[in-house]
Structure 1
Amino acid sequence: MMKIVTIIGARPQFVKAAVVSRALDFFAERHRNKQINEVIVHTGQHYDTNMSDIFFAEMQIPKPHYNLHMGGGYHGVMTGQMLAKIEEILLEEKPDVVLVYGDTNSTIAGALAAVKLHIPVAHVESGLRSFNMRMPEEVNRILTDRISSWLFCPTKKAVNNLQGEGFMRKEMTGKYLIENVGDVMYDAALFYKDIAQPSETLSNVLKEVNYKFYLATIHRAENTDDMVRLKNIIKALECISRNIPVILPLHPRTRNIIQQYNIQLDNIKVIDPVGYFDMITLLEQCQGVLTDSGGVQKEAYFFCKPCITLRDETEWVELVEHGYNVLVGADYDKILQAQKESSAKQLDFSIKLYGDGTAGDKIIQKIVEVVLK
């Protein structure tokens, strides 16, 4: 029998983990002689009232076995508390593998707790680099890669990053196993787009804008905590919205900052944060995307929409190289120019940059090959 402990703490990680959990169930059904047990630990890093029973049921996401309620606080305090609690769980559960996702504090806390107990760590979304060490996410992903045994990469570029840092592909002999499995978020997009239905609230919003709009998201500290950058971005969105509506699902923290500094949102269609199904609808319906989110950059590509990234760098460099994504930072003129050019572009989205939609299956197959061999 094999036991996997999955550590997650942010909403996107639930979606990613759901992909691998489904792959685990399918594998178990096909190989009834191989018993596999998954224990899901939710650190509570991002508390969301939408994480209700209905949310889990609609998205077919397994409920966590543990919820640590560790949201809020400084990075060091949060990570340290998670580390202590996760260690207790691992000592109790005694898993064969600890599975972590992405680059959050939950990711590094789970990986550290496991490696200290000599439990192999599998890191999904390994090898991504922004090369900006001021980003907490960059620190988390680099450290997690260094102490993980399985390095599951979403792209060839991610593999190259690891190899450039001295990682070598080796079987599980205390070294690293690097695999380009594709992106689990692509798996998720393919699965959920066929079952997603917009909420009544969003349907009314789409009717108001006559189903023609740009989608914008702003949440990164580099933009929200810098008033010059934030004002430039809002000013550009205001200008764009005079010609075509801009829908902005606004995080409460960003909304509070905008209100605090009396930044006007006169023309932008501001709505409350949306769930994953509503986000899928927005991505399918929009003309294009303006975002500082890493995940939304990819999702724009999954749904064949041009993306303008409100950052100075991106982990998803292949999107920039192929012209699907344009980096504009918080430069007012660059944002407007990129939006003007994107509306006239004819992009070929047939290129498969993130695998074939079977990343979850490949991850489980590789882990099982080693643990249950």
Structure 2
Amino acid sequence: MSQGSQTALTGPVMCIVGARPNFMKMAPILRALAAHQPPLASLLVHTGQHYDQGMSHQLFEDLGLPRPEINLEVGSGSHAVQTAEVMRRFEPALDEHKPSCVLVVGDVNSTLACTLVAVKKGVPVAHVEAGLRSWDRKMPEEINRVLTDQVADRLYTTERSAADNLLREGVAAERVCFAGNVMIDSLLANRDKARSAADTLRAHGADPALLGHPAGYAVVTMHRPSNVDDAVTLRSLLEVLREVSTRLPLVFALHPRTRSNIDRFGLGGLTDPARMVMLPPQGYLEMVGLMAGATMVLTDSGGLQEETTALGVPCLTMRENTERPITVEQGTNTMVGRDPAAILQGVTDILEGTGKRGRVPELWDGRAAERIAADLWHWLRAGAA
């Protein structure tokens, strides 16, 4: 525990969520803290970083998350503005509630912002999903990951290679605990509750008969600035997706950023409504149902790389790198970048049955949150001794 840390076990574990990926990771952790014997008191803080409060509400409902005790209502903004505003609004909450530690997940701006406030005030920080690296410093998430791991006190990893990354960066091995993947805890807990793909299409006025294509269907998500903020790149990707749609229908869950840029760049003509179902952002249970029934997923999302591996669904990742290499080495994920030929070859391989089958990685067993709660209890007790 870092020098100056407050005495442990004097207050709740302050759990931070800010954007959509955090919700899936935090839900099983909160349940595990409550179920631990003895229970660990928790206090949920929603920074309000996620721009769509309606979608946030639906995700809380889908995941069985309690309503947050504190909502900082930060909203959107540039990375600098958003990070600074989270810090400004989080500090009084930290001072008021005097937590035993702050627990952060993932790599969004709220993760780093709350970590910085806590460590500067001597409050221990635990980081769940530590040590993942894309080695691409142009990704804002990579900066958040690296900096959070450098100053956090307890680091929980999802795959063994993450510990090697941390050791190379000078993080002491005794600060690191291999716990498994809490994202998969949520997936396994909710798979039976997932909404069917047909029901999801009906809810948005689309014909579910599309799903009965002989080749099945593919799910598409795309939101990263490197893919959607440049007109030439976005046009190229939409053109190749249009070609893919001649082989099997696509269900495209459109991120608001992507939809806005399609409109801004005048690229709407590249989306064929007969073969490409364009949906608004979907709830968690809808996305699980769509993925579970898909022939393949094409995405630039980190979380979907993990979820498809756990579901055994082939995934083509339209990025040049990944911070989740285990999904490539052991799972169903293939990196195809933004090269149209590589994307089309990946689709061909899957349709011809030569794509990756993969396996579920070590400790992706639905019990990662239990291991985190047990370790956190012992770690905080040791800090209080």
Q: Deviations over 1:190-244 (max 9, x none)?
A: 1010222348851524723134200110100001112222111111110010121
* Separation in 2, partners of 1:359, 1:106: 22
* Separation in 1, partners of 2:46, 2:331: 37
Alpha carbons 1:156, 1:180 under 8 Å: kept: yes
> CA separation of 1:126/1:25 partners in 2, compared to 1, >3 Å: closer, same or farther?
same
Aligned position for 2:320: 312
Pairing partner for 2:105 from 89, 101, 106: 101
Alpha carbons 2:23, 2:60 under 8 Å: kept: no
> CA separation of 1:242/1:40 partners in 2, compared to 1, >3 Å: closer, same or farther?
same
Amino acid at match of 2:147: L
Aligned position for 1:173: none
Alpha-carbon deviation of 1:168? 1.8
Pairing partner for 1:197 from 195, 198, 218: 195
> CA separation of 1:77/1:57 partners in 2, compared to 1, >3 Å: closer, same or farther?
closer
Greater mean deviation of Cα atoms: 275-284 or 356-365: 356-365
Aligned position for 2:180: 182
* Separation in 2, partners of 1:120, 1:221: 33
Alpha carbons 1:318, 1:353 under 8 Å: kept: no
Q: Residues 118-137 of structure 1 correspond to what in structure 2 (within 5 A)?
A: 118-137=122-141
Aligned position for 2:84: 80
1:362 aligns with 2:371: yes
Alpha-carbon deviation of 1:51? 4.2
* Separation in 2, partners of 1:226, 1:367: 43
Alpha-carbon deviation of 1:52? 6.4
3-state SS of paired residue (1:98): strand
Equivalences, count: 362
Aligned position for 1:210: 211
3-state SS of paired residue (2:211): coil
Q: Deviations over 1:141-183 (max 9, x none)?
A: 000000000010000011111112122222xxxxxx1011011
Aligned position for 1:341: 349
* Separation in 2, partners of 1:347, 1:328: 13
Alpha-carbon deviation of 1:44? 0.7
Alpha carbons 1:181, 1:355 under 8 Å: kept: no
Greater mean deviation of Cα atoms: 54-63 or 129-138: 54-63
* Separation in 2, partners of 1:40, 1:48: 19
3-state SS of paired residue (1:15): helix
> CA separation of 1:5/1:219 partners in 2, compared to 1, >3 Å: closer, same or farther?
same
Q: Deviations over 1:16-42 (max 9, x none)?
A: 111100111111xxx2xx453211111
Alpha carbons 1:230, 1:330 under 8 Å: kept: no
Q: Give TM-score scaled by structure 2 length.
A: 0.90
Aligned position for 2:166: 162
* Separation in 2, partners of 1:65, 1:272: 29
Alpha carbons 1:50, 1:275 under 8 Å: kept: no
Give the gaps of 5 or more residues in structure 2.
1-8
Alpha-carbon deviation of 1:372? 3.0
Greater mean deviation of Cα atoms: 220-229 or 109-118: 220-229
Alpha-carbon deviation of 1:265? 0.7
Pairing partner for 1:226 from 230, 238, 241: 230
Alpha carbons 1:186, 1:354 under 8 Å: kept: no
3-state SS of paired residue (2:43): strand
3-state SS of paired residue (1:243): coil
Q: Give TM-score scaled by structure 1 length.
A: 0.92
Q: Deviations over 1:286-309 (max 9, x none)?
A: 000100010111111111111111
Aligned position for 1:4: 13
Pairing partner for 2:120 from 116, 130, 151: 116
* Separation in 2, partners of 1:223, 1:203: 26
Alpha-carbon deviation of 1:77? 1.0
Alpha carbons 2:309, 2:331 under 8 Å: kept: no
Alpha-carbon deviation of 1:87? 0.9
Aligned position for 2:283: 275
* Separation in 2, partners of 1:217, 1:81: 29
Aligned position for 2:146: 142
Amino acid at match of 2:288: I
Q: Deviations over 1:52-106 (max 9, x none)?
A: 6665344211111111111211111110111011111100000011000111100
Q: Residues 275-294 of structure 1 correspond to what in structure 2 (within 5 A)?
A: 275-294=283-302
Amino acid at match of 1:50: G
Alpha-carbon deviation of 1:254? 0.9
3-state SS of paired residue (1:25): helix
Structure 1 ranges of 4+ moved more than 6 A: none
Give the gaps of 5 or more residues in structure 1.
171-176
Alpha carbons 2:32, 2:373 under 8 Å: kept: yes
Alpha-carbon deviation of 1:320? 1.8
Greater mean deviation of Cα atoms: 324-333 or 300-309: 324-333
Matched-pair identity in %: 37
Aligned position for 1:174: none
> CA separation of 1:218/1:78 partners in 2, compared to 1, >3 Å: closer, same or farther?
same
3-state SS of paired residue (1:273): coil
Q: CA RMSD in A?
A: 1.8
* Separation in 2, partners of 1:346, 1:328: 13
